[in-house]
């Protein structure tokens, strides 16, 4: 197996030095975490490549040289100009997506040119990957920089195995919809190009599914989306850390004292705060909370220090420059207010640190203060707990970090509440050692059992499983030409019966049912087939007879309206049976109340059935109201005089004792047909499929579970099958 990892940045950064280049390890949770997984991946005999930006603008005449050198690290670079990178990364990624996905709407901005550049960069990635792919490769795409890439690759290679993982939060629908319509819809469609989409927490998964349901109309089934083309798995995979490697580093760390590292006495308690410079990390709130703690607890003066480490990040973005200035001023103010010649309450450094340096700092820190305002996961919290080989230490953790869902034995706080954080600092500093050891032991057990290697293995393994499920669902004869070939192989000749659903089968669904007029292509196909004296065409629909007569009445075919209430043969309509409508006033009253509950819903009245449609309404609310409506209708259906059908965004009440199955059986039993073809897309068509002879060629349009023998992904495939019946 060959794995192609794709991310915005390569794990190796190219550094220009005159006319030559040197290469250093990239700093960041993604590169560090994936490298740990890849060690176990390659140890099992597998191969991987990594595609991404090399971290610097490379001149055109140096690209070949840099590419060749990077291949030593299994890396394939994407070269992006400085201007394009500014609009892509500093622009759309960090000024539009980052604040939107982290709920900082006041920092959000959108520019059309930046969106166009974002799309262009995703296309550059697509072209590069397409050139290096081999049959059987598995592609694993990472993070918000490449949200469009899965579908771009899917358009190029339909059967490619694609996984996608989002390392930041996915926002609620109400926040996500702040993005322009064309932008947000393309993002969702782009992500759905993957076979498996992973998130850190269930909350983010639910937010994504809700946005897809509301904006694209796809209904999730548990952890899956069944689109017309594929089954897509949505799941939660909390990213872990390289637990045993961190413990090994901690054990090998020199027994440096606080005096050596920080210049403070061993007796002084140390609170560690490590973060990138970012407004999502809540650093100012952290400082204000520490200030409040010092105000309320003078007994801790000269007995505690806050080690505030801030790694440079996005210094070209104005919000970040302003925040850096504010943090500098706030730290200086607190030191000036409480400090003296012998003691400064804050030790502040603005620089980057290696994993070894961080682990040494973890080892000497009594408390870790991790209080982001919003964070996808936060691996610092997990690294701190993993490094505590002495079993002591206290983690104060924001409830808004993904890690809080796992590290429940930390002191969990609201990062917006300075009172809570100040109280948590006091609790942490005064926590008895036996309680510390108990909490650390519980959290370490959790981290050891779900480390980063298991995280990566679970995702890749489930990616293979979903591909197997897709194959099982689509079946061996998913292509229209294969179905037709299968018929020919079985020597299908003689009289033929075609039982065809209308909406979603012969025509696509449209917002207004009145606009689902048959195309000239469809009319030509039906007319040509009906001209063959050995072929009988029957349209079996839920439509009313007036509409079917208007649209198809001139053709030499039979029509079934209202799921079998009315049947037209030899140009004459008849009722299939005597029906009573005593239930009708009650149902109309209920339906009218539900129309009032949700804008966009409407009632369709037929001779012997009534339908409540929610295809034009909010998809999520419509689905919930449909369940509520079903409960109201249960009492009526229990009496036996009314039947309730649940179709594609419609709930229909009709007289009992009728259905597509009953109507279809009437046609089947009249003659000895050598070929029976039935096609439909809805749950109402399943009744028809089930009553037909085993030799019948039953075809489901779409990927839902079906009793049909064959399945095709799209409505247009139905016409391709029918065209083969033209004599």
Which positions are catalytic? Answer: 501
Q: Can you list the alpha helix ranges (DSSP code H) found in 475-513?
A: 480-489
SS3 label, residue 348: strand
Query: CA-CA distance, 154 to 76, in Å (whole number)?
Result: 20
Query: CA-CA distance, 223 to 655, in Å (whole number)?
Result: 36
Query: Residue 373's closest CA among 410, 337, 401, 402?
Result: 401
Query: CA-CA distance, 431 to 541, in Å (whole number)?
Result: 71
Query: CA-CA distance, 195 to 298, in Å (whole number)?
Result: 57
Query: CA-CA distance, 551 to 332, in Å (whole number)?
Result: 79
- The tokens describing 223, both together, are 């952890």
Helix (H), strand (E) counts: the chain: 26, 29
Query: CA-CA distance, 3 to 141, in Å (whole number)?
Result: 11
- Cα within 13 Å of Cα(535), Cβ side: 21
Radius of gyration, alpha carbons of the chain: 32
Read off φ and ψ for residue 565, nearest 5 degrees: -70, -50
Q: Are 515 and 692 in contact (CB under 8 A)?
A: no
Paired with 536 in beta bridges are 497
The secondary element (H helix, E strand) that includes residue 310 is strand 304-311
Query: CA-CA distance, 66 to 582, in Å (whole number)?
Result: 80
**Number of neighbouring beta carbons within 10 Å of residue 700:** 25
**Number of neighbouring beta carbons within 10 Å of residue 158:** 9
Query: CA-CA distance, 215 to 224, in Å (whole number)?
Result: 17
Q: Are 548 and 559 in contact (CB under 8 A)?
A: yes
Q: Are 191 and 150 in contact (CB under 8 A)?
A: yes
* Region of 45 on the Ramachandran plot (φ > 0 left; ψ -120 to 50 alpha; else beta): left
- Cα within 13 Å of Cα(196), Cβ side: 24
Query: Residue 423's closest CA among 574, 300, 534, 335?
Result: 300
DSSP secondary structure letter of residue 517: P
Query: CA-CA distance, 360 to 253, in Å (whole number)?
Result: 6
Query: CA-CA distance, 329 to 306, in Å (whole number)?
Result: 16
DSSP secondary structure letter of residue 6: E
Query: CA-CA distance, 543 to 654, in Å (whole number)?
Result: 12
* Beta carbons within 8 Å of 128's beta carbon, 6+ residues apart: 51, 76, 78
- The tokens describing 556, both together, are 């030499």
């Amino acid at each position: 197996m060959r794995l192609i990892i794709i991310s915005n940045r390569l794990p190796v950064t190219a550094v220009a030095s005159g006319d030559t280049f040197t290469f250093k390890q990239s700093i960041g949770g993604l590169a560090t975490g994936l490298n740990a997984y890849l060690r176990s991946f390659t140890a099992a005999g597998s191969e991987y490549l990594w595609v991404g930006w090399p971290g610097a603008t490379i001149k055109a005449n140096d690209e070949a040289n840099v590419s060749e050198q990077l291949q030593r690290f299994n890396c394939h670079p994407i070269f992006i100009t400085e201007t394009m990178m500014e609009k892509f990364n500093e622009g759309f990624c960090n000024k539009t997506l980052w604040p939107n996905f982290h709920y900082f709407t006041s920092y959000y901005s959108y520019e059309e040119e930046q969106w166009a550049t974002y799309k262009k960069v995703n296309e550059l990635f697509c072209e590069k990957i397409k050139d290096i792919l081999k049959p059987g490769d598995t592609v694993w795409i990472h993070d918000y920089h490449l949200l469009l890439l899965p579908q771009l690759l899917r358009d190029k290679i339909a059967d490619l195995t694609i996984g996608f993982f989002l390392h930041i939060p996915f926002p609620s629908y109400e926040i996500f919809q702040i993005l322009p319509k064309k932008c947000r819809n393309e993002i969702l469609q782009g992500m759905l190009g993957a076979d498996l989409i992973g998130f850190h927490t269930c909350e983010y998964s639910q937010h994504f599914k809700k946005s897809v349901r509301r904006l694209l109309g796809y209904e999730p089934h548990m952890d899956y989306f069944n689109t017309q083309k594929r089954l897509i798995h949505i799941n939660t995979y909390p990213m872990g850390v390289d637990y045993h490697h961190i413990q090994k580093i901690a054990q090998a760390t020199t027994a440096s004292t606080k005096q050596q590292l920080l210049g403070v006495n061993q007796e002084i308690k140390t609170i560690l705060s490590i973060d990138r410079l970012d407004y999502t990390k809540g650093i100012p709130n952290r400082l204000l909370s520490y200030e409040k703690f010092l105000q309320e607890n003078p007994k801790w003066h000269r007995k505690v220090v806050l080690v505030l480490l801030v790694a440079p990040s996005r210094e070209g973005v104005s919000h970040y420059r302003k925040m850096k200035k504010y943090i500098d001023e706030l730290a200086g103010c607190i030191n000036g207010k409480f400090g003296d010649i012998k003691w400064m309450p804050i030790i502040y450094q603005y620089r980057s640190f290696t994993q070894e340096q961080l682990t040494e700092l973890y080892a000497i820190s009594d408390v870790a203060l991790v209080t982001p305002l919003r964070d996808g996961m936060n691996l610092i919290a997990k690294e701190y707990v993993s490094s505590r080989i002495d079993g002591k230490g206290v983690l104060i953790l924001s409830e808004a970090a993904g890690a809080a869902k796992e590290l429940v034995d930390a002191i969990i706080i609201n990062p917006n509440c300075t009172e809570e954080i100040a109280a948590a600092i006091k609790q942490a500093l005064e926590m008895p050692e036996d309680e510390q050891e108990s909490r650390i032991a519980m959290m370490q057990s959790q981290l050891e059992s779900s480390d980063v290697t298991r995280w990566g293995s679970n995702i890749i393994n489930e990616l293979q499983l979903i591909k197997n499920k897709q194959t099982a669902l689509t079946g061996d004869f998913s292509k229209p030409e294969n179905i037709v070939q299968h018929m020919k192989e079985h020597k299908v000749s003689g009289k033929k019966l075609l039982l065809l659903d209308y909406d979603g089968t012969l025509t696509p669904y449209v917002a207004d049912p009145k606009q689902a007029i048959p195309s000239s292509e469809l009319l030509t196909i039906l007319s040509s087939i009906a001209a063959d004296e050995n072929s009988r065409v029957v349209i079996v629909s839920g439509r009313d007879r007036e509409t079917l007569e208007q649209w198809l009445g001139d053709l030499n075919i039979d029509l079934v309206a209202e799921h079998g209430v009315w049947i037209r043969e030899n140009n004459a309509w008849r009722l299939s049976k005597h029906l009573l409508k005593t239930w009708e006033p009650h149902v109309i009253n209920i339906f009218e109340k539900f129309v009032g509950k949700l804008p966009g819903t409407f009632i369709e009245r037929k001779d012997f059935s009534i339908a409540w449609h929610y295809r034009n309404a909010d998809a999520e609310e419509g689905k919930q109201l449909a369940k509520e409506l079903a409960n109201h209708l249960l009492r009526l259906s229990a009496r036996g005089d009314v039947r309730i059908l649940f179709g594609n965004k419609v709930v229909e009440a009709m007289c009992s004792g009728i259905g597509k199955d009953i109507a279809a059986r009437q046609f089947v039993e009249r003659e000895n047909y050598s070929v029976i073809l039935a096609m439909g897309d809805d749950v109402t068509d399943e009744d028809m499929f089930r009553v037909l002879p085993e030799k019948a060629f039953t075809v489901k349009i779409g990927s839902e579970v079906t009793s049909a023998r064959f399945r095709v992904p799209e409505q247009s495939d139905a016409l391709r099958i029918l065209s083969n019946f033209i004599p």
